[in-house]
């Protein structure tokens, strides 16, 4: 263990030397290097902006400071109110000095927020304020109620499973959006996950990097308790999967209200991971050793397992948690796959139902309900009338019912939108050419009409069964033509 401690000290020294020798990179996203990390690693060289200066600056830009929300090593956050519209915002003022507005716009955090916006689970940047005289940069962002750490701090009872599921689903959606945009966060922790009622949003993108940037990256970037094994055991050879590990640690903390791996230092952090997950295979350790100047060996240890720490955890949640906390980053689940996990099945179904209702309501907004009702009534009416006409004389007459007060007009005459619905076909008989046949073959019938067609008088005819015996007898019968039926009221 002493050998491992000396190795960590040596790594820190080499990392500090490497950062000190770095030159300021260009403004390209993929090749800018760690200029922000270098400035963040030397906070003592940055002068702290006085409260009076920030207040004066924001007042000139139309914002009034309400109260101080929080303060970190590299920034200070206050609640502000716009003097223009009266809305409240969160103002994050950087403690580092910026030389120009162009440099302020090229800050990694600013570029990331612009690229990721808009998204329902990403903090949105409202305005960037730069003071040329003092070199101060302030980011006006949307205001949330609290972060996850403040939400679970001091709780006596665990959160409901549905609440945990809802928050984790939104966190995975924010990570999936970030990774699909080519950015990974590198500092996912409860303090950087903000909530407002039932909405969760990921914030603080000062440590994010491009997924296309080549390692080695900064080694000590994320908060220790949420740092992935590849960040602890390599010289900065990690990828976007480190965000999934951090999200898994947050997942456990939301469910149990306690941190999963609260290491006191890097060595203790690795030991706490091994206490729960066990020592990894030698093949995996060999992958880590390839990027280390010094070798390390861990005594074999079988972990206690996560299920013993949260015995009441549902099986689907435990399954997702183990996949997010896979020791090997190549076997760790992605954010996109995590969203399709069985654990989120109910949330996905509810989200899909809500989207369907939103599309339907959006369609109904452009059309009045009365017009919509009349339109569908007009489409369905021919079907009902067609059923009424079956068994009667099929003729080309207006689709009219004496029990109705109105006549259904053609669709062309209606001033309503057309719908892609096919009307049912009504079998209508069109009069054909005149065909001669003996009157005697026609059966007697009588039809009572309601004034739409002239009545047809019946004639006495010989039964069809009584056939003539010879040609002379056949000739005695008269031959007549069936006249075509006259159209009334102009047809359809």
Residue 99 has φ and ψ, to the nearest 5°, of -85, -30
**Helix (H) / strand (E) containing 147:** strand 146-147
Is residue 222 within 8 Å of 188, Cβ to Cβ?
A: yes
Distance CA 216, CA 291 (A): 9
Q: Count CB neighbours of 12 within 10 A.
A: 13
| Distance in angstroms (rounded) separating the CA atoms of residues 98 and 338 | 39
Is 430:396 a contact under the CB 8 Å cutoff?
yes
Through-space distance between the first and last CA atoms of the chain, rounded to whole angstroms:
96
Active-site positions read 187
Dihedrals phi, psi of 158, to nearest 5 degrees: -65, 160
DSSP line for 208-274: -EETTSPSP--SS-S-GGG--HHHHHSSS---THHHHHHHHHHHHHHHHSS-S---SSHHHHHHHHH
Contact 95, 48 (CB under 8 A): yes
Which phi and psi (to 5°) does residue 360 adopt? -65, -45
353 is in an annotated binding site: no
Q: If DSSP states are collapsed to H, E and C, what string results for 75-98?
A: EEEEEEEECCCCCEEEEEEECCCC
- Sheet with 75-82: strands ordered across: 63-71, 75-82, 88-94, 136-142, 125-131
Give me the sign of the Cα torsion angle 394, 400, 402, 404: positive
Question: Where is the binding site for ATP, in residues?
Answer: 92
Question: Where is the binding site, in residues?
Answer: 92
């Amino acid at each position: 263990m002493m050998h491992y401690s000396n190795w960590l000290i040596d790594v820190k020294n080499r990392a500090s030397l490497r950062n000190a020798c770095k030159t300021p990179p260009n403004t390209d996203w993929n090749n800018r290097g760690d200029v922000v990390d270098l400035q963040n690693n030397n906070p003592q060289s940055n002068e702290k902006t006085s409260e009076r200066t920030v207040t004066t600056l924001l007042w000139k830009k139309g914002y009034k400071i309400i109260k101080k929300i929080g303060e970190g090593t590299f920034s200070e956050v206050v609640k502000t109110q716009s003097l223009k519209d009266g809305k409240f915002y969160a103002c994050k003022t950087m403690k580092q000095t910026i030389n120009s507005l162009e440099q302020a716009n090229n800050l990694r955090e600013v570029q990331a927020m612009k690229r990721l916006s808009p998204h329902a689970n990403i903090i949105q940047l409202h305005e960037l304020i730069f003071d040329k005289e003092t070199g101060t940069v302030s980011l006006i962002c949307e205001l949330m109620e609290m972060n996850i750490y403040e939400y679970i701090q001091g709780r006596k009872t665990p959160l409901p499973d549905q609440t945990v599921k809802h928050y984790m689903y939104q966190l995975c959606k924010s990570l999936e959006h970030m990774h699909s945009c080519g950015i990974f966060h590198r500092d996912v922790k409860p303090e950087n996950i903000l909530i407002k009622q039932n909405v969760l949003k990921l914030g603080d993108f000062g440590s994010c990097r491009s997924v296309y940037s080549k390692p080695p990256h900064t080694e000590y970037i994320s908060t220790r308790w949420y740092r992935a094994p590849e960040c602890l055991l390599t010289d900065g050879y990690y990828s976007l999967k480190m965000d999934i590990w951090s999200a898994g640690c947050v997942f456990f903390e939301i469910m149990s209200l306690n941190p999963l791996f609260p290491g006191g230092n890097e060595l203790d952090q690795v030991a706490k991971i091994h206490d729960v997950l066990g020592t990894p295979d030698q093949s995996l350790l060999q992958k880590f050793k390839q990027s280390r100047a010094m070798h390390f060996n861990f005594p074999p240890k079988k972990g206690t397992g996560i299920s013993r720490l949260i015995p009441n955890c549902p099986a689907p949640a435990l399954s997702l948690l183990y996949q997010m906390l896979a020791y090997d980053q190549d076997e760790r689940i992605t954010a996109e796959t995590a969203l399709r996990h069985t654990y989120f099945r109910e949330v996905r179904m509810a989200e899909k139902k809500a989207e369907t209702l939103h599309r339907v309501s959006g369609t109904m907004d452009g059309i009045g309900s009365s017009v919509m009702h009349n339109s569908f009534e007009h489409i369905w009416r021919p079907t009902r009338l067609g059923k009424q006409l079956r068994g009667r004389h099929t003729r080309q007459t207006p689709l009219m019912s004496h029990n109705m007060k109105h006549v259904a007009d053609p669709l062309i005459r209606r001033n309503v939108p057309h719908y892609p619905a096919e009307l049912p076909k009504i079998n209508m008989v069109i009069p054909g050419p005149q065909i001669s046949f003996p009157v005697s073959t026609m059966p007697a019938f009588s039809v009572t009409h309601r004034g739409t067609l002239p009545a047809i008088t019946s004639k006495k005819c010989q039964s069809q069964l009584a056939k003539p015996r010879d040609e002379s007898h056949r000739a005695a019968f008269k031959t007549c033509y069936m006249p075509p039926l006259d159209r009334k009221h102009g047809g359809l």
